[in-house]
């Protein structure tokens, strides 16, 4: 995730001329930014340049993305009445530019293209809190005080993301990733009751597409077995749980993605190398490990470190790499 971004001067140059949502809404710009990291290093897949809030902004809420802060919703969703302001997403009519960017990219790319969406809980958190939150307290308050409104909110987000992800595959995406970045804020009981049913429905509805489905979260150590039950084929793990421990928690019959700490890439190369080799050692050559950072690339990351990292992982996994699709 966030393979493109501020660590690349060519990305910053585009962002000087356009707001991030403008980039997302212009197929040629979105395609160009998607390609930028691939011109710098031979990664094995491209991730579409967009943002998790792009489809939500088309569903009846005003969203902007503030640099250094994240998504902001001035008129948040806090009640059953507010939930009614959201309409179900019609991807072809309301976010055609995303599908056009995918079509453009498929003509240019030599590696698989990953489409994505936010997961309902993470999207709900931005909608209910009105912006990034450390505690997610208003979101949890809604979930516990008005479970009916919560279910309706999760339902509309779940259906909309299911349609959005399907439309991305129909446009040419060859794998899908669902980002539940803030699910780790929940205890396993609340995750089980208030989030898992929607995730099961979401992944269940995509199963017929026959593309790899990646389920990503941050701080989800205690939720991993429940995430496995949600039904994706690949579970993303951050750096807080050693890879082999996380893999055992989800079961060796599903694939795992991760899990180098992104801040490790700010350190001198010798320490990046050591940590990357630790991840590979823990994967132990089992089939079904997607090497990745445990979260997005940080803006201050030297491009050269990422280039060396890609080369190192390629060197050490030579002859064993395969595309899960
Ligand atoms: O990886 C890629 O190249 C694809 C692009 C991508 C972006 N956002 C572009 C972006 C992806 C996959 C996302 C997903 C996303 N957006 C998530 C889920 C993954 C994760 O990181 O947990 C979340 C939670 C968001 C919401 C969001 N958008 C945040 C928290 C921020 C960062 C705010 C900041 O300035 O630190 C954004 C802005 C954003 N979206 C950037 C990028 C490259 C930052 C650069 C910019 O503002 O131009």
Tens-digit pLDDT string for the chain (325 aa): 788 999 999 999 999 999 999 999 999 999 999 999 999 999 999 999 999 999 999 999 999 999 989 999 999 999 999 999 999 999 999 999 999 999 999 999 999 999 999 999 999 999 999 999 999 999 999 999 999 999 999 999 999 999 999 999 999 999 999 999 999 999 999 999 999 999 999 999 999 999 999 999 999 999 999 999 999 999 999 999 999 999 999 999 999 999 999 999 999 999 999 999 999 999 999 999 999 999 999 999 999 999 999 999 999 998 887 765 5
pLDDT the model gives residue 289: 97
pLDDT the model gives residue 205: 98
pLDDT the model gives residue 145: 97
CA of 50 to the centre of ligand 1 (A): 8
pLDDT the model gives residue 126: 98
pLDDT the model gives residue 322: 72
Residue closest by Cα to atom 10 of ligand 1: 51
pLDDT the model gives residue 319: 81
Closest CA to 86 of 33, 15, 172, 160: 160
Give the burial string for 14-53 (b: 16+ CB within 10 Å, else e): bbeeeebbebbbbbebbbbbbbbbbebbebbbbbbbbbbb
| Single pTM value for the model | 0.96
Residue from 3, 4, 5 whose mutation best tests the ligand 1 pocket (most atoms within 8 A of CB)? 5
Packing angle of the helix pair 9-17, 27-40 (nearest 10 deg): 170
Ligand 1 atom closest to the Cα of residue 132 is: 30
126: which 2 tokens? Answer: 């931005």
CA of 297 to the centre of ligand 1 (A): 10
Relative to beta strand 64-66, strand 70-72 is antiparallel
Ligand 1 atom closest to the Cα of residue 5 is: 43
Residue 165: exposed, middle, or buried by beta-carbon count in 10 A (0-12, 13-18, 19+)?
buried
> Collapsing DSSP states into helix, strand and coil, what is residue 239?
coil
Residue closest by Cα to atom 27 of ligand 1: 70
């Amino acid at each position: 995730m966030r393979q493109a971004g501020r660590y690349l001067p060519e990305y910053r140059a585009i962002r000087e001329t356009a707001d991030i949502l403008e980039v997302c809404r212009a197929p040629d710009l979105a395609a160009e930014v998607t390609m930028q990291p691939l011109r710098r290093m031979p990664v094995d897949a491209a991730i579409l340049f967009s943002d998790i809030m792009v489809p939500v902004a088309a569903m009846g809420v005003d969203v902007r993305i503030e640099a250094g802060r994240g998504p902001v919703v001035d008129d948040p969703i806090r009640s059953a009445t507010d939930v009614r302001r959201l309409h179900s997403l019609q991807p072809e009519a309301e976010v055609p530019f995303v599908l056009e960017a995918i079509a453009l990219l498929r003509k240019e790319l030599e590696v698989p293209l990953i489409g994505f969406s936010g997961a309902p809980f993470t999207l709900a958190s931005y909608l209910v809190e009105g912006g990034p939150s450390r505690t997610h307290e208003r979101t949890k308050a809604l979930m516990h005080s008005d479970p009916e409104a919560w279910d309706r909110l999760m339902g509309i987000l779940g259906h909309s993301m299911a349609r959005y992800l399907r439309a991305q595959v129909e446009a040419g995406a060859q794998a899908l990733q669902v980002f539940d970045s803030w699910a780790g804020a929940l205890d396993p009981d609340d995750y089980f009751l208030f989030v898992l049913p929607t995730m099961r429905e979401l992944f269940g509805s995509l199963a017929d597409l026959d593309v790899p489905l990646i389920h990503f979260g941050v701080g989800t150590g205690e939720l991993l077995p429940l995430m496995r039950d949600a039904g994706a084929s690949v579970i993303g793990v951050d750096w807080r749980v050693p890879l082999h421990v996380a893999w055992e928690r989800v079961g060796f019959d599903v694939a795992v993605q991760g899990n180098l700490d992104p801040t490790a890439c700010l350190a001198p190369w010798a320490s990046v190398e050591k940590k990357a080799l630790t991840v590979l050692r823990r994967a132990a050559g089992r089939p079904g490990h997607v090497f990745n950072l445990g979260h997005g690339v940080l803006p201050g990351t030297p491009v050269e470190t990422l280039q060396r990292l890609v080369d190192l992982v390629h060197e050490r996994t030579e002859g064993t790499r395969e595309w899960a699709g």
